[in-house]
Structure 1
Amino acid sequence: RGQVPRDEYELARTGAGFGEVYVSPLHMAMIMSAIASGGAMPRPVLIDRIEDRDGQPLYESSPAKWRDTVLPETANAVVRMMVKTVEMGTSHRTFGTPARTPLLQDMDVAGKTGSLSGWTPRVHFEWFAGVAPVGSPRLALSALVVNDHRWKIKGSYVGKEALNSYFGYPSSLPPMYSKARGTRKWRATPHAVRKGEPAVKAKTKKGGKAAGVRKRRAPGKAVRKKEPVKPVAVTSRSARTGG
């Protein structure tokens, strides 16, 4: 469900999945199935088949359309963009290239990632939703991973392993992710004293202003030495002519 705001900025955030937008993994799998089926969203079922003790079927579900969501050309355009997500986008590192991933050698996979941070409690949500194979889809899936404090497993890896398991391909190890850490910058403080230098006690004048405090430079900055001023000889015309 979602609430469509009137403000332009909040409307743009809603289109990107932020703001007052809530979706369950089941609903996201239904959306992927609708996009793969040209916009027709199927009616969800929880039980596919019931058998007796002898293996005879007592109940079998049959697929049924629930509603039309988008035009077929819109759904096809979204699928093409989702293929690029796996080939060169945010899922490329997880799925790899066809030379290293047997799954991609036999079929194209369309997928979409998403990440959100929660504060009550403080967790990180990793999403992946996709369909395969593109052109004649047999599986629409949605994966949600909730990580505590640090990224441990991404949703795209869980989605890839679900595809490998369903289509009978070997499993793979998750890729290693590392966050770049910025270098700590040196910041001068008013009372910083360099190592090896005696502390200078400030003398106060009348009125409370400090005097006698030696100004120190930040480490790493070169100080240019003042060169002595060269004397310049100035000769007047009268001195040269003698007149």
Structure 2
Amino acid sequence: MSTLILDDVCVSYGRVHAVCHLTGKFEAGSLTAIAGANGAGKSTLVKAIMGELPLTNGHINQGKLTPQDIAYLPQTAEIDRHFPLNLEDLVSLGSWRKNGAFRGLSNACLEETKDALRQVGLAGMEKRQIGSLSSGQFQRALFARLLLQDARVVILDEPFNAVDEQTTHDLLALILQWNKEGRTVLAILHDLEQIEQHFPNTLLLAREAVYWGDTRQALSVQNKQRAKSLIHYWDNPQSQISTPFKESA
């Protein structure tokens, strides 16, 4: 199973609580948006799931999932596009767990790379340097790399940030296809209308869970107001005696 279970998960930066007492689960085969204001702990949470940040409390149970079963796309701003790689090199990195880190690319891997580039609309661009790509083209290339990883769980941190409408449409179609294939998909998103249209489940974060479940419930007017109040509390902890909303779904 590819269920991720979080039990009282907390992550802190020194004395600053970034994620607090988060309990719930991303069901196997589910499609979940992670929403919330800047500073709500969204990227911190997915980095903790990936093991890039230590927990200060709680536990994340990945069941029988191995590192090879989880694919992670960080924010584009965290990737150095000045490194001298062409598209073929970048995308083929998605197969390193299967083919090994120090082997040359097999003919089969090269064909898989070409096919992945074709699926994201970059056919024939294998030798283009990544530094010459537009933001949309680069994000398409990163999705092609995810295709080669063929993971059971896909975690995306702001996958549509700074890309054009057509690229968003095409990449969203890939995400929905992954979900139809039974993969578990988590995506940090800011476009609430997009979430409501395409993502049945939402975790609304404000450093703690405001609501985790049905998207329409999560993004209700009441819950969005709760999220705003919680962020205000965490940013101004001395202004109130206790948090305004302790319960979470």
Interval containing the TM-score (normalised by the shorter chain):
under 0.3
TM-score by length of 2: 0.21
Which has more radius of gyration?
Answer: 1
Higher helix share: 2
TM-score by length of 1: 0.21
Between 1 and 2, higher relative CO (CA 8 Å, sep ≥ 6) is seen in: 2
